[in-house]
Amino acid sequence: MGSKCLRIAVLSLLGCASMSAVPIMFDVNCAGMKVGSVSIDTSGTGISGGFTSTIGGPPPTQAAAAAKCGEDHFNWYQIVTATTAVGLVDNAGRPFGAPFVDPPAGGFGGQWADNLPWYFDEYRPPAGTAGFNPNFLTSTNTVGDTLSYFDFPGGPPGTRHTFKTWLVSLNADSSFHSFHGGFSWEWTNVAGTRSAGNIQLLGAGIVPTRAEYNDLIGNFATKIPEPSMLSLLLACGTLVYLMRRRL
């Protein structure tokens, strides 16, 4: 799916996006103060952007934004809401279909992912683990004031995937703390033309529903607590290859 679902890193973006798209941006606020902003735009055959802190230092840092929000660090939570792909099976041999967390626990298609429901991997597997790519670690994608985001899906002609993606803050043990706004988008391959677009803000205070979070994380590490409805409402801040090709 998106970059983390069959997250195959690529060092070049082939083709050109033809789907109509308008870049989006939204502020991230904690304790009544703006701590940064998220900006997302199309990029080649996918989308990219990130969350950039505006506090700390100078210069601003991700750590300062996290501290202001009472948390340890940020990541992303992404789900595939619909897909034309069929017969999907994760690395443990379990079949799955939309909606599902991108990537599924443990990864799929031979690409390793951790057992946490966040987009970038929170930890490294044992040395020599097949399919592990350090480009998909949260630490790799957190540099200075910015947490990157990128997703370059794939699939044969006729493929369509739709996504929802939220900025999420985590505690030091990688457990859930708060959601901080999000966006929806889609990817298609129409007659060989691959494109991402239709990027839409989900709106201030819009967090995953029970069906979009609680009901989807059963295969993930049990230490991850399910956010209560109150914590969700009070969240700070307002295929046939599905490829999470995060550069």
Element at 199 (helix H, strand E) = strand 193-201
How far apart (Å, rounded) are the C-alpha atoms in residues 123 and 81? 26
**What is the rounded average pLDDT for all residues in the chain?**
85
Residue 201 host element (H or E): strand 193-201
Decide if 10 contacts 247 (C-beta within 8 A).
yes
pLDDT tens, position by position, 50-85: 999 999 989 999 999 999 999 999 999 999 999 999
- Sorted by where each begins, the domain ranges of the chain are 24-233
Q: Residue 106, Cβ neighbours under 10 Å: how many?
A: 18
pTM for the predicted model, two decimal places: 0.85
**What digits encode the pLDDT tens for the residues 99-134?**
999 999 999 999 999 999 999 999 999 999 999 999
Handedness of CA 126, 115, 96, 170 (dihedral sign): negative
- 8 A C-beta contact, residue 149 and residue 40: yes
